Amino acid sequence: MNTASPACIRVANFVGGRWHTPSTGSWLDVHNPATGELIAQTPLCTANEVNAAVEAAGVAYPSWRRTPAEDRIQPLFKLKNLLEAHQDELAGLITLENGKTLAEARGEIRRAIENVEVACGIPTMMQGYNLEDVASGIDEMMIRQPLGVVAAITPFNFPGMIPFWFLPYAIACGNTFVLKASERVPLTMVRAFELMEQIGLPPGVVTLVHGGQEAANAIIDHPAVKAVSFVGSTRVARLVYIRAAERGKRAQCQGGAKNCVVILPDADMESAGRIIADSAFGCAGQRCLAVSVAVTVGDAQRRFRDVILDLAGKIRTGPGQDVTTTMGPVISPQSQSRIEGLIAAGKDDGAKILVDGRQPTQVSSSGYFVAPTVLDEVPANSRLTNTEIFGPVLSLVHACDIDEALGILGSTPYGNQASLFTSSGAAARKFRYEAPAGNIGINIGVAAPMAYFPFSGWNDSFFGVLHGQGRDAVEFYTQEKVVVERWVMEHSRKF
């Protein structure tokens, strides 16, 4: 990292295997969300700077594509070991720029490493299939080939994990890869790319370019970029998907969420409460799989409310660096005031605020803190039940039975996750069968698929066909080629 002044780091792009300070005159200040202190500046790169980065990735592609799969994965084994050795350092950077606790940040790096591990299986995962004698003397095979330069545009909430939903699979499949990380959290990926300098990748196989909307659009528009992976808000996911499709490119665009959990009366309330509190308030509610609405059925209403109120009150909000903190700040003052505004809107709509996390007094006022908040009797048509809050706010809604609860789930336009807490296998099966979301949790609060399963959002939470991670990633980053061959075997001929 280049230090422009002792107090602030100006981050650089990684292009063609070297660090370059962009010439853009436009830089975005990055603040520590726990203190408000200036910690870095991100260059908002222009289309010219992005084009140079994509072209360097294009130069690296032909020989990387010819490198055998077995050789392409060797750097990934080294990367796994380096990420493990630097897990605490990377977690410290995540906490510094994103605000989540150190324990949450370490868990995030673990999830990144899992994706590197799965991509090491590319020699098996990338195999096609074949059939001898599809007609007399004719054989047919399907092989998978890489696409060329591929790119990812990622959000602020998992600076260390989400880029690794894409990077290891893309390069293991033989593509070269361009990342535009979130301009709000640049430091973690800068350090990760510094580590990648040590793993033996040829220059240009991985590229890091910083910026905001202009840089993202330049990536999507560049003719050499063959595929775009995006994670962020639904508004931008839709824009990116349309823009990529207009240019004839494949795209996978993961959007926002509004996740509901249903609690049946036969659930173990203590355990459900602990798990749901972690889902709603962990990472300050800034997870795309965070539970935001809890729908209680029958007499689960009173019992769950008692448990969640008790747990919400015990969460220690504070700086993520402090080991006694169990919930950190939100990302920005704008985010803080937006969340506070939605809590007020919920009250205006008729909800009762049972725990109010606005302007908590136990933390520094220069950080961007909202403590856990619980609202009860939230009307089904309230802004709170339909808007992605992305903060530590849980709305309690009541339903008479599981069918009514499923109806409430179906009323949001999103479909990232839905969870059920129960001890009934029949109820669990009904929920799995009918819930309109792509990631389902049964007695699970954050149903985050392991790296060898697709991260499977539905509806307004995902635009595309093939998801991130696992086999879907291999299909997304390769194109199928079918070969039909005739070789005449003359049985009398000696070779």
Active-site residue list? 288
- For 2, 40, 186, 366, 414, the CA distances from 6, given in Å and listed in that order, are 10, 11, 18, 21, 44
**Phi, psi at residue 31, to the nearest 5°?**
-115, 150
Distance, CA of 147 to CA of 224 (rounded, Å): 10
Sheet of 2-5: strands edge to edge?
2-5, 8-10, 38-43, 27-31
Q: Does 183 bind ligand NAD (CB under 6 A)?
A: yes
- For 265, 402, 429, the CA distances from 424, given in Å and listed in that order, are 10, 12, 9
Q: Does 414 bind ligand NAD (CB under 6 A)?
A: no
User: Please, which residues bridge with residue 421 across strands?
Assistant: 263
Distance, CA of 269 to CA of 307 (rounded, Å): 7
Answer for which of 64, 390, 431, 477 binds ligand NAD (CB under 6 A) is 390
Q: Does 257 bind ligand NAD (CB under 6 A)?
A: yes
The distance of closest approach from Cβ of residue 212 to ligand NAD in the complex, given in angstroms and rounded to an integer, is 4
Q: Does 74 bind ligand NAD (CB under 6 A)?
A: no
DSSP classification of residue 449: P
Q: Does 34 bind ligand NAD (CB under 6 A)?
A: no
Distance, CA of 181 to CA of 229 (rounded, Å): 12
Amino acid at 138: I
Distance, CA of 317 to CA of 327 (rounded, Å): 5
Tokens of 343: 């809590």
Closer by beta carbon to ligand NAD, 32 or else 301: 32
Q: Does 254 bind ligand NAD (CB under 6 A)?
A: yes
Distance, CA of 365 to CA of 465 (rounded, Å): 44
Q: Does 95 bind ligand NAD (CB under 6 A)?
A: no
Distance, CA of 239 to CA of 220 (rounded, Å): 11
DSSP classification of residue 251: E
Answer for which of 241, 368, 431, 455 binds ligand NAD (CB under 6 A) is 455
Mark the segment that binds ligand NAD (CB under 6 A) among 49-57, 126-134, 154-162, 354-362. 154-162
Closer by beta carbon to ligand NAD, 273 or else 415: 415
Q: Does 153 bind ligand NAD (CB under 6 A)?
A: yes
Q: Does 412 bind ligand NAD (CB under 6 A)?
A: no
Q: Does 156 bind ligand NAD (CB under 6 A)?
A: yes
Q: Does 188 bind ligand NAD (CB under 6 A)?
A: no
Mark residues 261-290: x for contact with ligand NAD by CB under 6 A, - for none. Answer: ---------------------------x--
Q: Does 112 bind ligand NAD (CB under 6 A)?
A: no
DSSP 257-288: --EEEEE-TTS-HHHHHHHHHHHHHGGGG-ST
Answer for which of 26, 217, 332, 337 binds ligand NAD (CB under 6 A) is 217
**Which residue is nearest to ligand NAD, using beta carbons?**
232
Q: Does 236 bind ligand NAD (CB under 6 A)?
A: yes
The distance of closest approach from Cβ of residue 215 to ligand NAD in the complex, given in angstroms and rounded to an integer, is 7
**Contact positions toward ligand NAD, by CB under 6 A?**
153-157, 180, 182-183, 212-213, 216-217, 231-233, 236, 239-240, 254-257, 288, 388, 390, 416, 455, 457, 461
